A = this chain, B = another copy of it.
């Protein structure tokens, strides 16, 4: 059942403990579902209620604490012994009287951690302001430290097995992009294209099934391409539309994002002008990737390339990517931007997304890559260009691009 050897989980755990020791943290409360999965294998859509993995620096196994009805899921998906799976009663769920952190604090005190140095992931979606207040109230002798991104930084360099899973996610991303583009046509609605993308992401390939992505496929159309995070409507595609598809293939929760811009019929003059600039910049950045350089170095290559054409990009150029859960597939550690001094190391993985958004249109052509010993490897092999969807090139029989 486990996607990795137990030894790999134990290595991750000891790397985590080493960082805890460096920061003077004795007990780490992991609430980020990707970090919980990374250290224990736990995989379920139960993160909408409070749950956590407790890492005690001087104990061999983490402790899972979560909702009673999810405890069987923890038994099925993790490498933990049953006595390390602690359920809390359902009356703590979405209650105005009881809060799960009260139970959790009580449990931590009971097993002797009430007065220790406790690390919490301060800026995580699944560690709310109230969760923190409740913990502080009920663990009043503990000393809290911000352990935000501690585990995320362990995740930043992937193992070969993780890379293999990302290669599979890449295959799924390719297939989903192909299927999406085939459905961007004037006899289809935006929601039908999105439905086809979702189908392919989840079905995967014949060899391996897909997983749900941490972000829904994004599919802004026409003027809506001026904003990257709009989703689809049920409007039919029109001749002359430009469409941005940003999606990720996902395998065992490992993501490979991919973005392309499509023009239905001949592209407008803005897209014609901007596309070769974006492609040139993207290619130059990929060619410049090398261990030892920093994320900021990569952004400088892009900026220089753009400056030649008198264009500036305000937003970051990319970010570390891999294992994740909704609402984001980014790892929140390294960003490819000016001032990020993260040094590139083999098996770091990034989504390089030189998106540009103007007042009434935008463009995205992206690649996800792995840093290799000498350069980089992209996870997908898809035409790195504006995709022109000529309505007359369809083979009506099978709906495929001829």
A-side residues, CB < 8 A to B, are 43-48, 68-73, 76-77, 89-91, 93-96, 99, 120, 122-133, 146, 148-149, 189-192, 194-196, 198-204, 208-212, 215-216, 218, 223-224, 226-234, 314-316, 319, 326-328, 330, 332-333, 335, 337, 339, 355, 357, 359
Contact = CB atoms under 8 A, between A and B. Distances in A.
A45 B314 contact: no
B148 A94 contact: no
A327 B128 CA distance: 14
Given A199-B196, A215-B48, A359-B72, A148 B125 contact: no
14 contacts: A43-B230, A44-B230, A45-B215, A72-B226, A76-B226, A89-B314, A91-B337, A93-B315, A93-B316, A95-B335, A122-B128, A189-B203, A189-B209, A196-B199
A128 B121 CA distance: 9
Contacts of A131: 123, 129
A44 B227 CA distance: 9
- Going nearest first, the 6 A-B pairs with the smallest beta carbon separation are A209-B234, A191-B209, A129-B132, A195-B203, A73-B227, A48-B328
A314 B129 contact: no
Contacts of A129: 120, 122-123, 127-129, 131-132
B231 A209 contact: no
Contact of A47 (B70, B194, B327): B327
A159 B202 CA distance: 35
Counting chain B CB atoms within 10 Å of each CB, which of A48, A196, A328 scores highest? A48
A69 B315 contact: yes
A327 B203 contact: no
A77 B199 CA distance: 27
Nearest to A198: B198
Given A45-B216, A127-B129, A198-B198, 6 more contacts: A45-B229, A76-B226, A94-B335, A125-B125, A209-B233, A211-B231
Given A45-B327, A69-B357, A202 B195 contact: yes
A332 B96 CA distance: 9
A201 B93 CA distance: 27
Nearest to A148: B130
Contacts of A70: 227-229
A231 B46 CA distance: 10
A179 to B, nearest CB: 11
A34 to B, nearest CB: 13
A182 to B, nearest CB: 14
A230 B77 contact: yes
Contacts of A69: 227-229, 314-315, 355, 357
Contact of A315 (B44, B90, B203, B357): B90
Contacts of A68: 314-315
A99 B130 CA distance: 19
Contacts of A47: 327
A204 B192 CA distance: 8
A76 B229 CA distance: 12
A339 B96 CA distance: 11
